[in-house]
């Protein structure tokens, strides 16, 4: 998919989930975690059209199944209730009962139908939810349209994340400002399609669910499905987009003259969130970007890029600031894509290290300085076709092993 660039799409400073008209949010500590916030609620003033993409893991958590049903059966959503600290995954009939109870309690609090409420959970797999603090938390939580509410929301959905992840863009549709904002969590087990990733996107655009779903699906491969931290896929993860129409534009379709501006803004929000997740990989110190050009197809280019950023040997080389291009070329070669070994060119930063499949002399000292930067880029020119793609990941550190070696203890 090509994303058309327009002059109307701009990143805005009010980068929070309630920036679009008609949304409220909140986050509180209810007691699932020892101290940190662990219950979040996002609400639209009116029922919103909704789109979603979900994990492909064969084991899908109860809250995900509940939310997927809302998206597919109604195409509308007015609220999402999220808990962190417990994934409610692989918990059998009781887990489904608890997820449905969360949906029902949130609906009763807000005075809306349960089939307008999505549910999401993140945390430890295989443990039953403690529903008592959730009961109390739902009664206590009070969504609001202030930046404080959005900050609390973004904090309450975190697990091993070190930072909150928020972004917002605006564009002009039918002469009216339309805002798209997003908040995400994700730090480990990031290997879409999808991963330990929850992303919630709000917009006041007027767009029917079928067209919103089409736009999200087309963007997902370029963004959320182009990141990896550790090659593992989780059980809970989803991206939801809620569009409540309060901007007042004419209904968006692919035939609308401002359709490309909307898609570009949604892509910008999604790409920023995806990169934030990759950068905040558990224990990570560096964001790694790999750009591939000259592949036979865009899909093959993305496959190669993702193989490179997902390679444990590449990731450890980045951690050690080692300009070991052999690890990059080995990852390209095992990606499964069609390549010509004699045509490949590889750059680390702006320094060419391989040309026509053979080494090029370079300054180790210069690349050592470059590889110590917080963001590192590899470029692979295959010189075979017109396909191109980008993927993002992070380095692999001692801290990653420590975090995941003691996750439950």
Nearest to 118 by CA among 180, 52, 31, 46: 52
**Residue 235: closest CA among 195, 274, 198:** 195
Q: CA–CA distance from 217 to each of 52, 56, 165, 198, 311 (Å)?
A: 8, 14, 21, 16, 26
Calculate the CA 119 to chain-centre distance. 17
- Residue 147: exposure state from Cβ atoms within 10 A (0-12, 13-18, ≥19): middle
Q: Which residues contact 7 (CB under 8 A, 6 or more apart)?
A: none
Indicate which residue of 67, 160, 183, 196 is catalytic. Answer: 196
Residue 12: other Cβ atoms inside 10 A: 15
Spatial contact of 204 and 245, defined as CB atoms under 8 Å apart: yes
Strands 287-295 and 375-381: parallel
Whether residue 196 lies in the annotated active site: yes
Give the CA count within 13 Å in the CB-facing half-sphere of 397: 18
Sign, CA torsion 228/220/259/77: negative
The three-class DSSP label of residue 361 is coil
Give the three-state DSSP class for 159.
coil
Separation between Cα atoms, residue 254 and residue 54, nearest integer Å: 23
CA distance 36 to 31: 8
Strands 287-295 and 238-243: unpaired
Number of H helices, E strands in the chain: 11, 15
Cα dihedral value 67, 70, 75, 77, nearest 10 = -70
Q: Which sequence positions are flagged as catalytic?
A: 196
């Amino acid at each position: 998919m090509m994303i058309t660039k327009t002059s109307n799409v701009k990143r805005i400073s009010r980068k929070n989930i309630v920036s679009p008209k008609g949304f409220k949010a909140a986050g509180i500590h209810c007691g699932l975690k020892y101290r940190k916030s662990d219950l979040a609620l996002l609400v639209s003033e009116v029922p919103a059209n909704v789109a979603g993409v979900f994990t492909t893991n064969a084991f899908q958590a109860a809250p995900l199944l509940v939310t997927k049903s809302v998206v597919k059966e109604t195409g509308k959503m007015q609220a999402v209730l999220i808990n962190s600290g417990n994934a409610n995954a692989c918990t059998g009939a009781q887990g489904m009962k608890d997820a449905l109870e969360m949906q029902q309690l949130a609906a009763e609090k807000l005075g809306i139908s349960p089939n307008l409420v999505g549910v999401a959970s993140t945390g430890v797999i295989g443990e039953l939810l403690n529903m008592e603090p959730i009961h109390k938390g739902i009664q206590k939580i009070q969504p609001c349209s202030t930046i404080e509410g959005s900050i609390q929301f973004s904090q309450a959905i975190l697990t091993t994340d070190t930072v909150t992840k928020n972004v917002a863009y605006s564009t002009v549709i039918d002469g009216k400002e339309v805002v798209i904002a997003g908040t995400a969590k994700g730090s480990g087990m990031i290997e879409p399609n999808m991963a330990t990733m929850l992303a919630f996107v709000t917009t006041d655009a007027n767009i029917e669910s079928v067209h919103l779903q089409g736009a999200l699906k087309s963007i997902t491969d370029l963004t959320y499905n182009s990141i990896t931290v550790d090659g593992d896929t989780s059980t809970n993860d989803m991206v939801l987009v809620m569009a409540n129409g309060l901007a007042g534009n004419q209904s968006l379709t692919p035939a609308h003259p401002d359709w490309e501006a909307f898609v570009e803004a949604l892509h910008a929000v999604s790409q920023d969130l995806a990169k934030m997740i990759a950068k905040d990989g558990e224990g990570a110190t560096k964001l790694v970007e790999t750009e591939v050009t000259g592949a036979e197809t865009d899909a093959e280019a993305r496959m190669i890029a993702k193989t490179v950023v997902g390679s444990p040997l590449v990731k450890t080389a980045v951690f050690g600031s080692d300009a070991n291009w052999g690890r990059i070329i080995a990852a390209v070669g095992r990606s499964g894509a069609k390549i010509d070994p004699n045509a490949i060119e590889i750059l680390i930063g702006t320094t060419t290290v391989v040309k026509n499949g053979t080494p090029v002399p370079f300054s180790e000292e210069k690349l050592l300085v470059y590889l110590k930067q917080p963001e590192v880029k590899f470029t692979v020119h295959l010189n075979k076709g017109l396909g191109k793609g980008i993927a993002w990941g992070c380095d692999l550190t001692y801290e990653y092993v420590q975090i995941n070696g003691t996750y439950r203890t």
